[in-house]
Amino acid sequence: MDTAETERVRGPRSVPLAEDAIQVPDHVKQLYGTATVSSLQLLPVGAIAASATVARALAIARAHHGQSVLVLDNDKMLGYVDMVALVTADAQDAAEEPVQAVYEPFHGTRQDPTYPSTYRLITPETSLGELSVFLQTHPFALITDADRTHVTNVAGAPDLSRYLGNAPRDPGSLGSRTTEEVRRDSALPDLLRMLDTYSPLIPDEVTDFYLERAGFQSQDVRLKRLLALATEKFVADIASDAFQYARIRTNAGPSRSRPGHGSGRDRTRTVLTMDDLSAALGEYGIDARRADSFR
């Protein structure tokens, strides 16, 4: 088996359930309200056999927006491997090594992986407040059905961040919002007035061109410039994430470097590659195929 991403992954039914309830602080309850895990609209779980290659696991992680990939032996979960470990292994010329050499067991060691003594049940009906508290001490959560028959999804802190960024505001909660949030909203008219004379890095003509290609038309130059600013911020965030992946690769190990990637004294210089950019884009749901590069 190469990957079980389209197959069912058996849940840890043999592990005793944790009996204590998760204590959710009031401010966390207020932040997420009545939303549940099902509100996250998670991708299906990504999984791979322990004997599969690091390169294959990295491709699955990117296809699943950078989430951790479960590592299996037959149908039994051994542990997981995250994006950082995969990028680091790839940078150390270990792309063809088996995932078994780099994965993290849930408990025990790679040679003798086991499950923890208890298991926290998290289902699509679990509140996001409980999930948020759980993720404060765990890298991710396994989402299963109530009977733990199968693992359906994996949820991490980035999923909660995306939810908060996309969740609609409840008008009835305006009185409970912080003074800073109210101040930001009141400053929006001032920002729009400033855009009358502000020239973003992306020219208005370029914004017009792509708006027309997308089937939108607007005569308000302020709206066009606001979209240009949002685009600049989005590109800056991707560049920042790609730079972090490049730093991970650069610092992955001084003893092994690819031909043409420079000597040890060049390690003070961070070089951005297509692999770094692809990894960053994968976190935003953009699948960038590796392009050929020439030196």
Predicted pLDDT of residue 170: 53
Beta-sheet pairing, 76-81 with 69-73: antiparallel
Predicted pLDDT of residue 6: 42
Predicted pLDDT of residue 248: 78
d(CA 195, CA 207): 14
d(CA 141, CA 120): 9
Cβ-contact 122, 134 below 8 angstroms: yes
The domain limits of the chain are 9-166, 171-282
Which pair of structure tokens corresponds to residue 187? 């400053």
From the options 3.10.580.10, 3.20.20.70, 3.30.450.20, 3.40.720.10, give the CATH code of 9-166.
3.10.580.10
Predicted confidence pLDDT, tens digits, the chain (295 residues): 444 444 578 888 889 999 899 999 999 999 999 999 999 989 899 999 999 999 999 999 888 878 899 999 887 899 999 888 898 888 888 999 999 999 999 888 888 888 888 999 999 999 999 999 999 999 899 999 999 999 999 998 888 988 888 765 554 444 445 555 555 555 666 767 777 777 778 888 888 888 888 888 778 888 888 888 888 888 888 888 888 888 777 776 554 444 444 545 455 677 778 888 888 887 777 776 655 544 4
Confidence (pTM)? 0.59
Predicted pLDDT of residue 184: 56
Predicted pLDDT of residue 219: 81
